[in-house]
Structure 1
Amino acid sequence: MKTHDSLYEEIIAFPNMYHAYYEAIKGKADSTFKEFNNDLHQNLWELHEELLNQSYEPSPYTTFYLTDYKTRRIMAPHFRDHIVHHAIYNYLEQVYNSTFIYDSFACQKGKGTHKGFERVKKFINKYNHKDYFMKCDITKYFYSIDHHRLMSIIEKKIKDKNLLWLLGKILNSHKEDPLPSHIINPNCEEQKKGIPIGNLTSQLFANIYLNELDYFVKHKLRVKHYVRYVDDFIILAKDKDYLHNLWQEIHNFLKNQLHLKLEPRKTHINKISFGVDFLGYVAFKKYVRVRSRNYRRFRIRLKNRIHRYYRDEISLESLNASFVSYFGHLTHTNSNEIMEEIEKLYTAVNVPDGTGAGAVQNHE
């Protein structure tokens, strides 16, 4: 395995810090960005100096909750820390991407949910509708990542002590307030577990951590048809008992090696004829449909954005970008009726005679 022992100086070099700044400003308009931007050169130089002499300390996070079909705690970093995360990511992404297996699809350039689902569809076509798939989900994945275990995995490849110091700073930067038991284990902080959802570095850490599982499944268990996206993964096979045995092997590996566990409510083995539910789609041998829950969710979101447009809170360009996103999601399916409904909503708000508002109301 190729190791890296002199990355820190390149990461904190001023040209990379400037590049990281321009990456970090995309879509940013919060108070910490404005404060930093008021004296950009001086603030960026001070940040560089803090990293150089290792006096850098991450700022407190801004914390909020997102509730969709489940509640997630989002921890938004201070803008200056966001720059540091980008500076690190610019280099570590290059270091680690070549180590990830082909069938890992989260948070990598050229990958994503659509590519991951297309891969699953390709695998489904190799099987009979009476064959089987196993879908698994890891319980509270981001909240359960063990800091010591993650650092031991990183240290196998990263030998630069200064960079390891910085990664440790970021990894231990969040001091959790007590969380409801349905979100996180209350012992999380004292056990040094969990990484903040909202950090760019957390996406990379999450991939590095479960890359251990990927190698175990592909090279130790020699599973041929396996696809993972963050903490969800699918395995296809002809034999149901084989999948049950795989489940036990994977369960033991996650428990003993990564201190994780499978979510029993979201782990199941079914025939392919029942439909393979993965990444917001349900795939059958001959067609694909949108998962019902996903459709209800983005239908509500879209109508909310339409009403915001009529209240002059967002532009038509911004609204149409949402339409394009949903059209893109639906083009991977055979959900013609849903596509027609979205097209009608699109037409209603884009007609030149001003009748859009009434047309949208008729779809409520």
Structure 2
Amino acid sequence: MYRHPLAALALGDHRVPPDQGLPLGGYLSHWSGGLYLDGLDHHVKRVLKVPGYLRYMDDFVLFAERAEALVQARELIADWLGQERGLTLKHPFAEPLDNRLPTVFLGFRISRAGIGPGPKALRRLRRRLRRADDMDPAHLARSLLACRGMWGALGG
């Protein structure tokens, strides 16, 4: 998107050099991802009419009652991404998962019971708590506040 001729016109001297990409996590990267894949959102919801769809940047998940519907939607999404955006799916043959079982998406454990920290976050928390006696009290307090903030953000 930022290599498009319109980007050259809009950005002028501030354009990203040809041998570089956008920095991950940068504001422009997030904004570009949202803008560039907005058409995918509309296609999935309005044309394919997938019952459940979540996307964060370039990661997305679909929800449907039948696995066959998910496989068909994935194929149609892959076609749309190739034709409209020149993109390919990272895992074009991933098997649909049973939504009665918990899974990890974007580092969070998602289940019918709700959203919680994923396995890596729980390991970090356990490791941090095991070292609590060796920590400076201010550092421990910041760590616990961060964990509390994560749980609060998740509704826990």
- What does residue range 273-284 of structure 1 map to in structure 2 within 5 Å? 273-284=100-111
1:160-183 per-residue CA deviation (whole Å, 9 max, x = no partner) reads: x6xx1x2x544424744xxxxxxx
In the alignment, does 2:3 pair up with 1:147? Answer: yes
For residue 150 of structure 2, what is the aligned residue in structure 1? 329
For residue 141 of structure 2, what is the aligned residue in structure 1? 320
Query: TM-score, length-normalised on structure 1?
Result: 0.36
- Which structure has the higher relative contact order (CA within 8 Å, separation 6+)? 1
Query: TM-score, length-normalised on structure 2?
Result: 0.75
Change (3 A) 1:257 1:308: farther
Change (3 A) 1:290 1:333: farther
1:226-281 per-residue CA deviation (whole Å, 9 max, x = no partner) reads: 11111211211111111100000111111222122212189441111221422322
Q: 2:32 aligns with which of 194, 205, 213?
A: 205
Q: 1:229 corresponds to which letter in structure 2?
A: Y
1:307-355 per-residue CA deviation (whole Å, 9 max, x = no partner) reads: 9953xxxx81x65333222123235377xxxxxxxxxxxxxxxxxxxxx
Deviation at 1:146, TM superposition (A): 6.5
Q: What secondary structure sits across from 1:147 in the alignment? A: coil
| C-alpha separation in 2, matches of 1:265 and 1:257 | 17
Q: 1:255 aligns with which of 82, 86, 99?
A: 82
Identity of aligned residues (%): 24
Q: What secondary structure sits across from 1:262 in the alignment? A: coil
Change (3 A) 1:210 1:269: same
| C-alpha separation in 1, matches of 2:119 and 2:93 | 16
Aligned residues: 155
Q: What secondary structure sits across from 2:145 in the alignment? A: helix
| C-alpha separation in 2, matches of 1:207 and 1:308 | 43
Let me know the Cα RMSD of the aligned residues. 3.5
For residue 117 of structure 2, what is the aligned residue in structure 1? 290
Asked which structure has the greater CA Rg, the reply is: 1
| C-alpha separation in 2, matches of 1:324 and 1:266 | 41
| C-alpha separation in 1, matches of 2:145 and 2:96 | 35
Gaps (5+ residues) in structure 2? none
In the alignment, does 2:46 pair up with 1:219? Answer: yes
| C-alpha separation in 2, matches of 1:266 and 1:290 | 27
Is the 8 Å Cα contact of residues 225 and 236 (structure 1) preserved in structure 2? yes
